[in-house]
A and B are shown apart, each in its own frame.
Chain A
């Protein structure tokens, strides 16, 4: 008979879980493994709410098995390290993002691209090496192999730093990989939400000119005055879009709703690159002529490897980049999920686990 979530591991844990596709979260007792020789154990202080958490809680992608404890933007303080842990020690400020394991022997893993390993293990809702299901950061304690734990620079606040672990790396990785970081370049960011707002900050940190492309004119003031974008384009305004044609070296598209690619491809200069980091669940129309006539590219990118996640957090530390967050108590999480569905947040909810998650 399968062990219950509370019994399968030796140490008690407590969190909030969704138990069916309504996605409603509620208190949940479970357990964590003992700290193994390569493991780092930490007390969770904050956890960001990623839109993926909402998709998974509601089984939007058809891959969820319940109960699910979401959360893959997890930060806290180390309480114990295994005997083979070299870089981290008790008291360190650390974080865990979207992955907690991989095969460590394929080409991707050898190239520090665990995120593309076919056997990559997600932080929640996935089978771990020992066959048990992983549980995420809407919980009081986290145990993960050192390889998947990053150190948070001292100058970054933990609450506003948490979203970097998914949103941050998801936009940082393609900016680097597709060469969109040279000062003087012009990069567009489509969608101003959790991913988009961090993309603007990173791009400015690299010294590139940034244009936000959005359907919401109301976001313009903040985009320019608060986030530091250079320009703001309303994508539904044909005149504005026309004036910006052929001006961008690259575009990071964070929008996961189905939307037209034609106008975005038109904004690219010759040889420009449109990188999708949001993943609409239906194919989009691809006009081939504009790709060919301008030698343009449409590419995708998915989070980033652990080495580059640490690099990203260090870059954020150096440039004082954090997410703009709304910190909430854990019992607000269901309301937060409803607001997130309507994009009613500037720009990431972060659960104050340390102060508000109390076991019964």
Chain B
């Protein structure tokens, strides 16, 4: 018989969705006891990732209710396991998309826990003890130290939270696919949570950055606030025509169904289109442009823990954080509705510590 959410010894409280309407409401549950390898984190802030929205509404068909979302968690260490040496009480730490993996397979040994076949997600997954994982829209979380990140001192907790998913999701492929050569031209398709961070990383890597978007009203901010070099509206055929064969790489953050053909056409020879958005249906891929231009389309999924720490340290060095709208916990359902209409610049972050009350 499945245990109830109150199966663990430590009481916990958060907000959960109970059905595919996706509406969130207060939820009592529990966290495991802090084991030798564990760190207990009092949660201060949690970013609202678009994956949270997909998950509460079961858009990918894999949600088990009740679900407590949230995988952009920043908080303070309040308990340490006996084997934990790298953190101390009071440290500011983060937890991202993963809280477990097998630790022994080839990918885990290469610090790529995110590609481990037994990877355990921060929410909506099954732990090694058979219980469900619950995410960061909650007061505390207990995590194996391997999956806990240190937040650099100069990064504010609230604006750093989205880096734990959005940040690593664009940083990892930018490094893996070599999208970091100064002077090269990067296209960023989609200017949302992921896209706006990709623009900031692109500029930090010394790239020329063009934002590719369907929303003309985002141009001013893209150029003047985020630092993009140019902006093109992908539904404007003349602009697309002028950009043909000009980009070394494109990072595609769009999760709606969209056409890949214009993006492929904007790539130079040997260009790379890297997709990190998660549409819920297949896209159409024209093969001729791949063959004629030796182009490629590749995927990427968050990043390993070592790389996530590297990304946070890179952000500290370049003073990069997300642009956020801080909200109270009880605003979450409105925030989700606005998120589904892309009405946020560019990430909601829940002020958990100050607004999550029982």
Contacts and interface: CB of A to CB of B under 8 A. Distances in A.
Interface stretch (B151-159, B208-216, B280-288, B315-323): B280-288
A301 B270 CA distance: 9
A194 B269 CA distance: 27
Interface in B264-302: 269-270, 275-279, 282-301
A277 interface: yes
Interface in B68-108: 107
B293 A279 contact: no
A255 B28 CA distance: 55
Contacts of B173: 295
A93 interface: no
Given A270-B107, A294-B115, A287 B282 contact: yes
A277 B291 CA distance: 6
Contact of A301 (B176, B285, B291): B291
A300 interface: yes
A286 B297 contact: yes
Given A295-B300, A297-B296, A300-B296, A280 B287 contact: yes
Interface in A98-121: 107-108, 116
Given A285-B285, A287-B282, A293 B301 contact: yes
B278 A288 contact: yes
B115 A286 contact: no
Interface string B21-40: 00000000000000000000
A116 B287 CA distance: 16
Interface string A277-319: 1011101111111111111111111100000000000000000
Q: Is the interface of B mostly helix, strand, loop or mixed?
A: mixed
B287 A283 contact: yes
A198 B44 CA distance: 60
A261 interface: yes
Contacts of A293: 115, 299, 301
B301 A300 contact: no
B290 A177 contact: no
B292 A270 contact: no
Nearest to A291: B299
Nearest to A256: B287
A286 B285 contact: yes
Nearest to A286: B285
B114 to A, nearest CB: 9
Contacts of A271: 115
A299 B295 contact: yes
A170 B297 CA distance: 20
Contacts of A285: 282-285
A69 interface: no
Q: How large is the interface on B (under 10, 10 to 19, 20 to 34, 35 or more residues)?
A: 20 to 34
Contacts of B301: 292-295
B291 A302 contact: yes
Nearest to A261: B285
Contacts of A280: 287
Contacts of A289: 278
Contacts of B270: 116
Given A116-B269, A288-B278, A298 B284 contact: no
Interface in A66-108: 107-108
Given A285-B282, A287-B282, A300-B294, A279 B288 contact: yes
A109 B295 CA distance: 17
B115 A270 contact: yes
A295 B278 contact: no
Contacts of B293: 116, 300
B203 to A, nearest CB: 25
B176 A292 contact: no
Contacts of A277: 291
Nearest to B303: A295
Given A284-B285, A285-B282, A295 B296 contact: no
Contacts of A270: 107, 112, 115
Contact of B294 (A262, A288, A292, A301): A301
A283 B285 contact: yes
Given A298-B297, A299-B290, A292 B275 contact: yes
22 contacts: A177-B294, A270-B107, A270-B112, A271-B115, A277-B291, A283-B284, A284-B284, A284-B287, A285-B283, A288-B279, A288-B299, A291-B275, A292-B278, A292-B300, A294-B115, A295-B298, A297-B298, A298-B290, A300-B289, A300-B291, A300-B294, A300-B296
Interface of B: 107, 112, 115, 173, 176, 260-261, 269-270, 275-279, 282-301
5 tightest Cβ-Cβ pairs between the two chains A and B? A300-B290, A291-B299, A300-B291, A292-B299, A299-B296
